[in-house]
Structure 1
Amino acid sequence: MTTRAVPGPRERLLEAAKELTYAQGVGVGVDALLKSANVARRSLYEHFGGKDGLIAEVLRLTAAEDEAAYEQTMRAAGDDPRERLLAVFDWLGEVVAAPDFRGCRYLGAELALADPDHPAHAVIRGYREHLHELFERELRALGHPQPAGAADQLVLLIDGVLAVGAIRPDSRPAAAARRLAEHTVGDRRLSTGGS
């Protein structure tokens, strides 16, 4: 006979906050979080110091998951840096088309959290920096003449896909962004020195 470990209060709070803050935004009430997690208010403060700490921790966890998804998407596209970068936009097309897609949790949090000192902002900055570094590394491998600037453009395109995908998914924003990304990334001759 096997026993199944029941998630503790910390894990239940994280799972509830992950689901509710994505579905309803970071303004979701503490009472709703506690009820969904089936925990006492004391647990929120013991494990996270309050709602702000819980939101920051949820964003830290989802950022790690999302960073891994970007990296996996790029690895699956093969060895060509150009194809690896463009594969991101093909994958985002699938993400936006998913029935449970509600937009970018990071954009939503940044817009909703007016306090510039909220700990979530530092987490989101770190997430964006990681994506930028990931893209810049691929652009350098491609031989792009301005890898940092081009990485800025790719991050901007991704933000646009995720924002427009939430309000007008039928407009196929990922396909449009992919066409723009093709110009940003350049052609295959970059990686072969123009030969």
Structure 2
Amino acid sequence: MTTRTTPGPRDRLLAAAKELTYAQGMAVGIDAVLKQAKVARRSLYEHFGGKDGLITEVLRVTAAEDEAAYRQTLEAAGTDPRRRLLAIFDWLGAVIEEPDFRGCRYLAAELALADPDHPGHEVTRDYHRRVHELIEHELRELAHPQPALATEQLVLLINGTLAVGANHPASNPAPGARQLAESIIGNGRRR
């Protein structure tokens, strides 16, 4: 005898909210999320306390997934910090080409969540801080002369690549951003 395990209401709510907030934005109606998740409104309040709690948890879950994707991209590129940093832009190029790509979830959330005290802002700030740390670590390993400044510049390129990729995907921004990243990174001296 085999038993099927279907996701419970909490997991279905998270999956639906993850998909719909990315496809339609943070302002997606909660009724649409409940309908896609096939759960009653009561489940939303029991598991998340309301829409703000659900959005915050979606951001927390996706931030962990996306940070893991950055780490995996760096690891797959080997041990040379320069190669590892440039691999991010190759990866972004592939991400932008995905048919359901809609840009950076975290930048969109920061703009859409009008309440400055929304708990989602803390999650997005923490995510951005961790990505900064990953990049700055590589620049320090490379013995870059200005790792903090170069980190800010590379993050600007990453965010710009994601924004342009969402708004003008045919422009293929990742190779141009990679070329600019090469000049920011320089040759460096590996420690």
Unaligned segments of structure 1, at least 5 residues:
none
Q: Stretches of 4+ moved more than 3 A in 1?
A: none
What residue in structure 1 maps to residue 99 of structure 2? 99
What residue in structure 2 maps to residue 137 of structure 1? 137
Q: Partners in 1 of 2:8 and 2:155 — Cα distance?
A: 37
The one-letter code of the counterpart of 2:68 is A
Per-residue Cα deviation, 1:74-126 (whole angstroms, up to 9, x for no partner): 10001100000000000100000111111111111111111111111100000
Q: Partners in 2 of 1:154 and 1:2 — Cα distance?
A: 51
What residue in structure 1 maps to residue 122 of structure 2? 122
3-state SS of 1:190 partner: coil
Q: Partners in 2 of 1:124 and 1:149 — Cα distance?
A: 21
What residue in structure 2 maps to residue 75 of structure 1? 75
What residue in structure 1 maps to residue 189 of structure 2? 190
**Superposed counterparts of 1:1-195, under 5 Å:** 1-187=1-187, 189-191=188-190
3-state SS of 1:179 partner: helix
Give the TM-score normalised by structure 2: 0.97
3-state SS of 2:190 partner: helix
CA RMSD of aligned residues (A): 0.9
Q: Partners in 1 of 2:15 and 2:150 — Cα distance?
A: 36
Size of the aligned set, in residue pairs, is 191
Q: Partners in 2 of 1:21 and 1:155 — Cα distance?
A: 23
1:169 deviates by: 1.0
Q: Partners in 2 of 1:109 and 1:77 — Cα distance?
A: 30
Q: Partners in 2 of 1:17 and 1:185 — Cα distance?
A: 38
The one-letter code of the counterpart of 2:23 is A
Q: Partners in 2 of 1:2 and 1:161 — Cα distance?
A: 47
Unaligned segments of structure 2, at least 5 residues:
none
Q: Partners in 2 of 1:128 and 1:108 — Cα distance?
A: 13
Q: Partners in 2 of 1:169 and 1:111 — Cα distance?
A: 21
Q: Partners in 1 of 2:121 and 2:184 — Cα distance?
A: 28
Q: Partners in 2 of 1:129 and 1:4 — Cα distance?
A: 40
3-state SS of 1:191 partner: coil
The one-letter code of the counterpart of 2:189 is L
Q: Partners in 2 of 1:4 and 1:67 — Cα distance?
A: 31
> Which region of structure 1 is more displaced relative to structure 2, 57-66 or 148-157?
148-157
How many percent of aligned residue pairs carry the same amino acid? Answer: 71
1:52 deviates by: 0.5
1:185 deviates by: 0.9
